[in-house]
Amino acid sequence: MTCDGTELRVACWNLEHNGGGGQLRRLAHRVLASYRPHIVFRQELTGAWEHGKRALFEEATALGGLFPFMTAPREGRSRNPTGVMVDPQLFETVAHTDHDLPWKAICHVQVRLKGYPKTLHLASGHLCHFDPDLRATEARRLTTLADHGRTALTGMDGNSYPHRSADEVCEPLVWAEVEDPVHFQHRTIERDGVRVSDTRPSEILTGGPKAVFTDFAHHAGTALRQSGALAPTASLKRTDQGPPQRIDWILGTPDWAPALRRVEVIDTEDVRRVTDHALVIATFDLVAVQHILSTAA
């Protein structure tokens, strides 16, 4: 895997139950490989820890020789780990740690772009699907990536909703019309005595005048006028949970925003065959990234 000299491509994908295996998993690998990502944030690496992480390394090889990292599954918790993959021709690894949390760990990898001194913090998250309060805790944990002037990128399945609803292009959720009562309990919170969509993780991560992170799809959809960047990402299959929403996000510290070229939401027939989440690709100008990483914190 090599960079064309002008772009750095970052992918985020929740591959449902790791593609399930066999031909469907190989199809998923071909879909992702076609975008030639240099950084991949993965969710639902189901079973990839088994047999010496065979499935993890198979995917990394299929993506052109990326170097893979993943969290260790914990007994009694989610069996759908998160992972990060990076291009070893562009990056050197500094450290890999898991942020252990009550339901699902965050995979945190520190790298340096070769020839540049500043450490880049990468994290793949999959916020808790059943507990809004735990999602808020997980979001606050992710803010620590940016502490002390660090630069960071994170990709996640937020299992919640963007807080700037007026800018979104998804069909609005009307909770009175959502058929699944469990989904209603999982995805709503109470405000002023009314149950509303849970937007707290988005508020914590990207809200306010001193936002910790930039939501790159929102930036692309508003500042860069790429309305397709705000397309819904999940669920692509179920019909009892309301219309699909934008719950898969690539975020970064604000220093990355000027480097952003585009965000794409990939929702093809092949994507729908292998998972219920769209593939999200953020593309950055490599020269601008080099500038971001040229001065050590």
In order of 10, 133, 154, 174, 262, the CA distances from 7 in angstroms are 10, 38, 18, 39, 11
Domains and their CATH numbers in the chain: 7-292 (3.60.10.10)
For residue range 58-80, what is the model confidence (pLDDT) as tens digits?
A: 999 999 999 999 999 998 999 99
For residue range 81-133, what is the model confidence (pLDDT) as tens digits?
A: 999 999 999 999 999 999 999 999 999 999 999 999 999 999 999 999 999 99
Paired sense of beta strands 91-99 and 106-113, if any:
antiparallel
Residue 3 pLDDT > 50: no
**Whole-number Å distance between alpha carbons of 119 and 231:** 32
**Average pLDDT of the chain?**
96
Token pair 């719950």 is at which residue?
Answer: 247
What percent of the chain is predicted at pLDDT more than 70?
98
Token pair 């929702």 is at which residue?
Answer: 267
**Whole-number Å distance between alpha carbons of 158 and 135:** 8
When pLDDT is cut at 50, 70 and 90, the band that residue 4 belongs to is: low
pLDDT of residue 297: 65
Residue 271 pLDDT > 90: yes
